[in-house]
Structures are given as C-alpha cells and as structure tokens.
Amino acid sequence: MKSILTGFGGVLTLFFVILIQATILNFGIRQNELDTAMNNAMIETQRVLYEQKEAFYDNNNDNIADSSMLITDNESYKDVFVKNLMQYIDSNSDIEIYFYTADNEKGLLDVKAVANYTNLVGKNKAYESRRTSILDSIENYNVTITFDIANVLQVDMSDTRNYIDRNTGKGTIDIKIISGTVTGVSVDKSDVNVSYTMDGDILRIQLDNVQSDIKVTVSGQA
C-alpha cells in the first residue's frame, strides 16, 4: 500500500511539473508571437506610409495599390497598423491596442498591445508589448527606425525628429524622458554603431552606418 501511495505521489508530482513547464512555455510562445507581430506591423505600416508619401511627392498615386490601406489621417494610420498587426496573431488571446501617439504627418507611431488569455490551469494571464517608430523624412533617407522602450520609462516623442544622412548613414535622434532613468541603448544591427548621452531630460542617440531599417532598444529603470 505504501509503495502504491509513493508511486501515485510521484506520478502526481511529475504531472504538476509538466503542467507548470507547459504553462511557462505557452506564455513564452505567446509573448514572442506578440513581440514579433508588433515589430512586423510597425515596419509594414511605416512602409505603407512611406510609399504613399513617395507617390504624393512624385505625383504618382498609381503606386498605391490597396485603397483599404490608404492613410489619409491619424485614424486611418491607426487602422492600417491594426490590420497589419492582427494578420500576425494566430493565438486565441484577446488583444487590446492602445495608441499613445499616431501622427501620420510626422510618421510617428507609439503603440502598446495588451493580450489576455486563460492559461492551462484556468487562470487569466496578461502580457504586453510596446513599440515606437519614426519614419525618416522622405527627402532624407528611406529607412524605418523602430523603438523598443522599457516600460519603466515614460517618454514624450511628439516633437521627436530624426535625420539620417543618405551618404554616411549617420543620424541623431532626440527623445524627451519624462520619468525613469535610461541605462542603455542598443540596436539590432551589428554593423551600426550607436552611442547616447543625456542632456538634461533629453536622450540624444547617435547612429552611424545606418543602411536599412533598424530597431533601437532603450533600457531603463524607474
């Protein structure tokens, strides 16, 4: 009898270990899906805006192939992002999208997505992802800069402008930090050099050798 109870206890322990591992793995898969979807949606939305601005400057509106993706104001800017985002979400999570800034004239998009789901043990879980992107001006350089800013940092990007020199790939980005402390800045391209300084409440990011779309990650602490 003792052996049976011991064996049953071992099986039960193994079951809970597997259940916990599966729950953690499921959460990680969902978080990775949302992060990837946010990155892709940012890039694709900014490409749509860029192509429309290019068509406008060239007086060639035939470049705009899909009228449902036409960006005419801030609301349609948001709509295009949502359409791009949802095509990358395959899980059954409920997604809520919060727009901090959506300025189609400046090409500035600051968005957070919060996803909710019921895990394997019946508990409601939430995870989130926030991305900020600035489309470089049409006359300067065809590049999209996407920002992954730590949630503990509160920033104001309403007046943020970036300039990338088409010949050298050098650029400077100024971001106003409202609260929190910046602890580091990195990029997702190994051949791009990045450095930063703080000038009062202004985070000044220096980039060198930017040749294509990049993601800038700003880490920080409260």
- Classified as helix, coil or strand, 4 is helix
Tens place of pLDDT for every residue, the chain, 222 residues?
555 555 555 555 665 555 556 556 667 788 888 998 998 898 889 888 888 877 654 455 555 555 567 888 999 999 999 999 999 888 788 899 999 989 988 888 999 999 998 876 678 888 889 988 887 644 444 567 888 888 888 888 776 766 677 677 888 888 889 999 999 999 998 999 999 999 899 999 999 988 888 889 999 998
Per-residue confidence (pLDDT) for residue 89, from 0 to 100: 86
Nearest to 187 by CA among 161, 156, 212: 212
Strands (E), 34-180: 94-103, 108-118, 124-135, 144-149, 154-156, 162-164, 171-179
List of residues 6+ apart from 107 with CB closer than 8 A: 46, 49, 50, 53, 133, 134, 135, 136, 137
Q: What is the pLDDT of residue 156?
A: 84
Residue among 184, 177, 130, 170 at smallest CA distance from 156 = 177
* pLDDT for 142: 59
pLDDT of residue 20: 59
Domain ranges for the chain, please list them.
2-221
Whole-number Cα distances in Å, 77 to 45, 107, 162? 8, 9, 20
Residue 139 confidence (pLDDT)? 44
CA distances from 163 to 11, 174, 198 (A): 61, 10, 18
Long-range contacts formed by 74-79: CB under 8 A, 24+ apart: 74/102, 74/103, 74/104, 75/102, 76/104, 77/45, 77/49, 77/102, 77/103, 77/104, 77/109, 78/102
